[in-house]
């Protein structure tokens, strides 16, 4: 194995040493595994919900966003948005929905690799996954903001509605319409995975940093 690969992978633990200190060296790997499972499960669950309440819809209109698809009363909501000049929700985050599943699979692979790396390079693999839930919400907010502030001036009710920023999380609305946006179970699981990964990095550092210092001192 080349010196460069050795520097990236870090010190190896003998089976005897790993067995003797199983909790110390096993905890980082176990937490990385738990995060991978959470991310994989989140793939099949909603990441965002939005309910639109209006007098003419006593049961409300509901839309659910997964990583790769929108479902629910999207057509009906688009029909209402058309009157105020807002573009179709299907046009939002088209690229993100196309690559969302592949990004999540890449995250799982990155965490798998991080389990075999005993240096600070592991943190570089883990960091994008840690920040993913926050990036998802920021991206959602930016799309909502873009759609709300760029209304079609030729829409039937364009003179009745001023540009606005729809609420990505929480309660909002305009006129007689009220929207309630909430994170989905998938996003919650991804956020839990982020917390688990932060803990994994802590235990990873505690387990392998002393070995790295010993290795550097001996070289």
Quickly list DSSP for the chain: --HHHHHHH-----HHHHHHTHHHHHHHHHHHHHHHHHHHHHTTS-SEEEEEEETTEEEEEEEEE-SS-EEESHHHHHHHHHHHTPPPGGGTTHHHHHHHHHHHHHHHHHHHHHTT--STHHHHHHHHHHHHHHHHHHHHHHHHHHHHHS--TTSTTTTT-------SSEEEEETTEEEEEEE-HHHHHHHHHHHHHHHHHHHHHHHHHHHHHHHHHH-
Cα separation of 39 and 88, whole Å? 29
161-182 pLDDT, tens digit per residue, is 888 899 999 998 887 889 999 9
The pTM of this model reads: 0.91
Mean pLDDT in the chain? 90
Q: What is the pLDDT of residue 161?
A: 84
Q: What is the pLDDT of residue 216?
A: 66
Residue 116 or residue 158, greater confidence: 116
Task: Judge whether residue 78 has pLDDT over 90.
Answer: yes
Q: Which of these ranges, 49-53, 130-134, 203-207, has the smallest mean pLDDT?
A: 203-207
Task: Judge whether residue 203 has pLDDT over 90.
Answer: yes
Q: Which of these ranges, 87-101, 118-132, 160-174, has the smallest mean pLDDT?
A: 160-174
Q: What is the pLDDT of residue 12?
A: 73
Q: What is the pLDDT of residue 42?
A: 97
Task: Judge whether residue 61 has pLDDT over 80.
Answer: yes
Highest average pLDDT, of 22-26, 53-57, 135-139, 205-209, comes from 135-139
Q: What is the pLDDT of residue 211?
A: 74
Q: What is the pLDDT of residue 10?
A: 67
């Amino acid at each position: 194995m080349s010196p460069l690969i050795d520097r990236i992978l870090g010190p190896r633990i003998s089976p005897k040493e790993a067995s003797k200190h199983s909790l110390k060296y096993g905890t980082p790997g176990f937490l990385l595994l738990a995060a991978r499972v959470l991310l994989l499960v989140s793939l099949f669950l909603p990441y965002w919900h939005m309910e639109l309440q209006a007098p003419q819809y006593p049961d409300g209109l509901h839309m659910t966003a997964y990583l790769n698809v929108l479902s629910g009363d999207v057509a009906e909501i688009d029909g209402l948005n058309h009157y105020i000049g807002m573009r179709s929700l299907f046009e939002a985050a088209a690229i993100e929905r196309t690559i969302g599943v592949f990004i999540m699979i890449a995250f799982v692979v990155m965490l798998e690799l991080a389990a075999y790396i005993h240096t600070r390079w592991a943190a570089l693999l883990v960091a994008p996954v840690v920040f993913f839930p926050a990036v998802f919400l920021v991206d959602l907010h930016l799309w909502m903001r873009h759609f709300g502030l760029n209304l079609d001036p030729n829409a039937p009710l364009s003179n009745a509605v001023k540009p606005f920023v729809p609420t990505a999380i929480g309660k909002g609305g305009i006129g007689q319409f009220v929207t309630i946006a909430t994170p989905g179970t998938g996003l919650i699981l991804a956020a839990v995975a982020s917390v688990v990964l932060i803990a994994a990095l802590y235990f990873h550092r505690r387990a392998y940093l002393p070995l790295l210092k010993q290795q550097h001192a001996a070289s």
